[in-house]
Amino acid sequence: MISFDVPLAEKALIAEIRRMAMPSGQRRRAGISVRITHSAPAVLTGIGDDCAVLRVPPDHQMLVTTDFSLEGVHFRRDWHPAEVVGHRCLTRGLSDIAAMGGEPLAAFLSLALPRDLSQTWVRRFTHALIGLAKQFGVTLGGGDTAESPNGILADIIVVGTVPKGKAVLRSGASAGDRIFVSGQLGGSAAALWQMRKKPKTKLNVREYPRHFRPQPRIELGRILRERGLPSAMIDTSDGLSTDLAHLCEESGVGAEVEAELIPRASVGKPAREVDIEFALHGGEDYELLFTAPATRRVPSRMAGVPITQIGHITRRRKILLMDRAGIRRELQPRGWEHFRR
């Protein structure tokens, strides 16, 4: 009857999300082969009860990760369409599961929305988030909604599983291990840079896929774990320099990285390789950064994603960057938090 785009009442919003979250019978996984190791449903009771009831497959452990997506911090409504915000919101959680070599099972979403936010925005956001979830066989198992006094806040929790004792940690790297990264780096930060430089111009989403439609490396993470290749692993959410520092700190080691070897994303039209600073410090690429013993052969492509060796782990607890001339300087972890300012 009323066709104005009015905000959705909480009850109606939950009912709508519940309907969208229903398993669609046959799960679509557009072009991505995600192997379901547990055929029985993981969420026994989902939205509608006080708690979700999850089934943990025998001989598995649970993985839980939580990530905020805050308006003005992680996205801007004038730069990021609602679908992009929804997609990226879930990607943050899925990427953490990938970094442990895990299999995602269920997601939980808490939303605080400003009173004047349109139904259309919420629908597009939720639709994209649930679409990505279904692509990976993940059920939206619950959440919460509230009114936000200022801006949109979305908190996503993703639960996954990994065979007992097989989670790939940040802490397993040893001196002599080689350092690898999947895909290319810097593409996401380059998009942000462009939007900041020209706030009025709309970027073509397809020219900056890693920023607007990042695909979490779930399949790659699982294959790596199954082959027992990584000694340590982390996803590049904060930027290479910061994420490598996290991994080294947890492992009690240092690293030496060759600038020339770092795979840089190509963005824009005509496509151009991003500046090395973007690849070194730009975050939110959601690639996998891992180490493997020098005795293990690591393929140059896995799960359809290029794998590049960028350096090696050292005993000395410093992170060094070697330039083209062979000159080494210390690589400060000036990742995302610093970079985005």
Tokens of 228: 């027992």
CB of 44 to Mg ion, least distance (A): 28
Gap between the Cα atoms of 141 and 43, Å rounded: 7
Q: Is 241 helix (H, G, I), strand (E, B) or coil?
A: helix
CB of 247 to Mg ion, least distance (A): 10
How many CB atoms within 10 Å of residue 2? 5
Sign of the CA dihedral with 97 first, then 337, 189, and 244 last: negative
**Residue choice 67, 71, 155, 235 for contact with Mg ion (CB under 5 A):** 235
Stretch that binds Mg ion, among 76-84, 235-243, 297-305, 326-334 (CB under 5 A): 235-243
Q: Which is nearer to Mg ion, 182 or 237 (CB)?
A: 237
Gap between the Cα atoms of 219 and 303, Å rounded: 6
Q: Which is nearer to Mg ion, 235 or 284 (CB)?
A: 235
Q: Which is nearer to Mg ion, 80 or 170 (CB)?
A: 170
Query: Rounded to 5 degrees, what are φ and ψ at 23?
Result: -60, 135
Q: Which is nearer to Mg ion, 69 or 237 (CB)?
A: 237
Q: Which is nearer to Mg ion, 61 or 66 (CB)?
A: 66
Tokens of 157: 């929790």
Give, as ranges, the residues between 80 and 99 that touch Mg ion (CB under 5 A).
96
CB of 235 to Mg ion, least distance (A): 4
Gap between the Cα atoms of 63 and 104, Å rounded: 8
How many CB atoms within 10 Å of residue 38? 15
CB of 265 to Mg ion, least distance (A): 19
CB of 188 to Mg ion, least distance (A): 14
Stretch that binds Mg ion, among 38-46, 82-90, 220-228, 234-242 (CB under 5 A): 234-242
Give, as ranges, the residues between 130 and 189 that touch Mg ion (CB under 5 A).
none
Give, as ranges, the residues between 103 and 132 that touch Mg ion (CB under 5 A).
none
CB of 185 to Mg ion, least distance (A): 15
Stretch that binds Mg ion, among 233-241, 253-261, 279-287, 311-319 (CB under 5 A): 233-241
Q: Is 95 helix (H, G, I), strand (E, B) or coil?
A: helix
Q: Which is nearer to Mg ion, 237 or 242 (CB)?
A: 237
- With tokens 């009831």, the residue in question is 53
Q: Which residues pair with 162 in a beta bridge?
A: 61
Whether residue 132 contacts residue 256, with contact meaning beta carbons closer than 8 Å, is answered with no
Gap between the Cα atoms of 11 and 22, Å rounded: 17
Q: Which is nearer to Mg ion, 126 or 188 (CB)?
A: 188
CB of 243 to Mg ion, least distance (A): 8
Q: Which residues pair with 63 in a beta bridge?
A: 160
Give, as ranges, the residues between 240 and 279 that touch Mg ion (CB under 5 A).
none
Gap between the Cα atoms of 181 and 308, Å rounded: 5
Q: Which is nearer to Mg ion, 94 or 154 (CB)?
A: 94
Q: Which residues pair with 43 in a beta bridge?
A: 54
Which of 170, 191, 333 has its CA nearest to residue 269? Answer: 191
Stretch that binds Mg ion, among 134-142, 204-212, 230-238, 295-303 (CB under 5 A): 230-238
CB of 236 to Mg ion, least distance (A): 8
Q: Which is nearer to Mg ion, 121 or 180 (CB)?
A: 180
CB of 27 to Mg ion, least distance (A): 25
Q: Which residues pair with 139 in a beta bridge?
A: 106
Where does this chain bind Mg ion (CB under 5 A)? Answer: 96, 235, 237
